[in-house]
Amino acid sequence: MNEAEIPASQRIIGILWPSFLTAAAATVVFFALFDPVELLAYTDFADSSRVGVYTVGFFLFWLLTTTSSTLTSYFQRPTRTPG
């Protein structure tokens, strides 16, 4: 299977979607263990609402997992073209 034959849209979904799933799981576990209010009590973000922190936290996790998936996808490319 030639990598170049996979349409870009499917490659992008292949990166975003698994990272979305893992980020969602990470968000649930993380915020079940740590209460944002206590976590941010002594920082500049002390006034943030919990739901706001959950949302931002989810997107930060998603950014993290997307970065990881993108790197995996990038490193899977052949390092040289045959011939």
Among 8, 12, 15, 18, binds another protein (CB under 8 A): 18
76 is a contact residue toward another protein (CB under 8 A): no
In the bound state with another protein, the residue whose beta carbon lies nearer, of 49 and 67, is 49
- Nearest partner of 53 among 39, 66, 65, 42, judged by Cα: 39
The H or E element spanning position 53 is: helix 50-75
Q: From CA 32, how far away is CA 75, in angstroms rounded?
A: 34
In the bound state with another protein, the residue whose beta carbon lies nearer, of 31 and 64, is 31
Three-state DSSP class for residue 18: helix
Sites of contact with another protein (CB under 8 A):
1, 5-7, 10, 13-14, 17-18, 21, 28, 32-33, 35, 49-52, 54-55
